[in-house]
Amino acid sequence: MNASFPRRAFLKTTVAASGALGLADCGFLARLQPVAAAEARIGPAQFLPEIEPLVRLLEDTPRNKLIEEIAARVRRGLSYRDLLTALMLAGVRNIQPRPVGFKFHAVLVVNSAHLASLNSPDSDRWLPVFWALDQFKNSQARDVQEGDWTMSAVDEKAVPAAHRAAAAFQRAMEAWDEPAADVAAAAMARHLGAQECFELFARLGARDFRDIGHKAIYVANSWRTLQTMGWNHAEAVLRSLAYALLDRGRGPNPAQNDLAPDRPWRRNLKLAGDIRKEWLDGKPDPGATAEMLNALREADENAACDVVVKLLNRGAAPASLYDAYFQAAGELLMRRTGIVSLHAVTSTNALHYAFQHSGNDETRRLLLLQNAAFLSLFRQSAVGGDTKSGPRIDGLEPLTPSAGATGAVDEIFADVSRNKAVAAQKTLAWLDAGGDARSFLDAARRLLFLKGTDSHDYKFASAALEDYYHVAPAHRGRFLAASTFYLRGSGAPDTSLAKRIRAALT
């Protein structure tokens, strides 16, 4: 997986070959002798014949021409699904997933753009994915500057047999063995079911706190994107994901060392066994939500997890704990708006997604515990030892918008650009008075399309606006109000990219 073939040299040879062979008609390939595995490993990973030409188009077209080129193809019938698939595959083949962030956001943001598209009116549905196309070209250029990494072909001779794939993958990931994990991930994609694979990756995404939650985010976002792409495209995605999850920076092998990012997981592997067997039968408990929220404000990562066990064993429903998690993430955003607090929101969204979709009891316990540990670590990173100062989400005071019910949303988003705290207060007052949250969500997404400049804008908006519906009704208004601290306001000018996309599509 580490092996890289210089992309420019590859493009020179493949473009010449495609012109000579006429890749529009590839039926003759079935009659040729198979390429030796050693020869195949010279170049980068290849995709299914039906999607490879579109992936290469995204890779090869200059950034200043790609939007217009793809818009023309959309008008000629290019499907949304094929474009999303090609975009994801171009990202995993061309952008090194280490660290799991920075330029790799071009891959992480694909699902966020997709969610924005799904929840948009027809007139705006193409805008997020076109924004993500431009983000890919930007990250691709950065990757070239930083070493021109390209995903290599699979070492076919080392791929484990189907019946050994899962065990081989688990051993490799526990040992932080990159070559073994790469071939095992390929075998899993080829032979195992999607849910079986997801269970393994869901645990690993929550295993350590390196990359400030991006590992969990990549697990959730890649899995969600695969639901649209189709499992037949999973191999490259799983290989990229495994490589990302083994990122340890320049540190020593975690399997052989006791390192801070791994300690919560190792402790929680034991602590999970202390949770009562009937923990999923718990009842909604507002008192437990308040107690958990206070713990996340003050406790370290170990003490916060101890509170999780206590509350579950007392009979509180897991959803009551998640109400505290969502509020704690929103409150941290209010206290210290920035990259760290932003990722408290997006990683909680990802861990909650994994919790919702895992069918393994132990994994679900671990996800609950790790989410609490992560939130405590985010808080310590963002505000240090300060556990008292700053606004509190349950102390937010409503402020009635002056524009009345019909103009409240416009007034709120104008305030987002001027004074985010005031915007939060007005959001709470408007929702408490019966305002329709859908109009707020629609306005937030439209402003994202027109004024968003960074992948974090998309990641945050998709996570926060989705999680509004995951929070209990009693807490939803305050959670959505806290989101105004990172949403885009109406006072900023429309981006030149938004204007360019609209022009290309019309």
pLDDT mean values, one per 10 residues, the chain (506 residues): 43 35 35 38 80 98 98 96 98 97 95 91 87 97 96 97 98 98 98 97 98 97 97 98 97 98 98 98 98 97 98 98 98 96 98 98 98 98 91 97 93 98 98 95 94 94 96 97 97 94 91
Residue 58 is predicted with a pLDDT of: 98
- CA–CA distance, 68 with 170 (Å, rounded to integer): 44
Dist CA 202 CA 430 (whole Å)? 38
CA–CA dist 224, 207 (Å, integer)? 20
Helix (H, G, I), strand (E, B) or coil at 152: strand
Q: Alpha carbon of 148 to those of 15, 61, 207: distances in Å?
A: 18, 17, 29
Contacts for 300 with CB less than 8 Å, ≥ 6 apart: 376, 380
How far does the chain reach from its first CA to its final CA, in angstroms? 41
Q: Which of 177, 144, 165, 188 minimizes the C-alpha distance to 9?
A: 144
Q: Which residues are within 8 A (CB) of 165 and not within 5 positions of it... i.e. 6 or more apart?
A: 184, 187, 188, 190, 191, 192
Q: How far apart are CA 173 and CA 92, in angstroms?
A: 19
For 320, phi and psi rounded to 5 degrees?
A: -70, -35
**Residue 3: left (phi > 0), alpha (psi -120 to 50), or beta?**
beta
In degrees rounded to 5, what are phi and psi of residue 169?
-65, -45
- Closest to 220 (Cα-Cα) out of 337, 100, 365, 312: 100
Cα–Cα distance list, 377 to 297, 303, 369 (Å): 11, 12, 13
Q: Please report, as a single letter, which amino acid is at residue 268.
A: N
Q: What per-residue confidence (pLDDT) applies to 120?
A: 81
SS3 content of the chain, % helix, strand, coil (to 5): 70, 0, 25
CA distances from 225 to 205, 229, 329, 405 (A): 16, 6, 24, 37
Q: What's residue 43's pLDDT?
A: 67
How far is CA 371 from its chain centroid?
15
258 vs 148: CA distance, rounded Å:
33
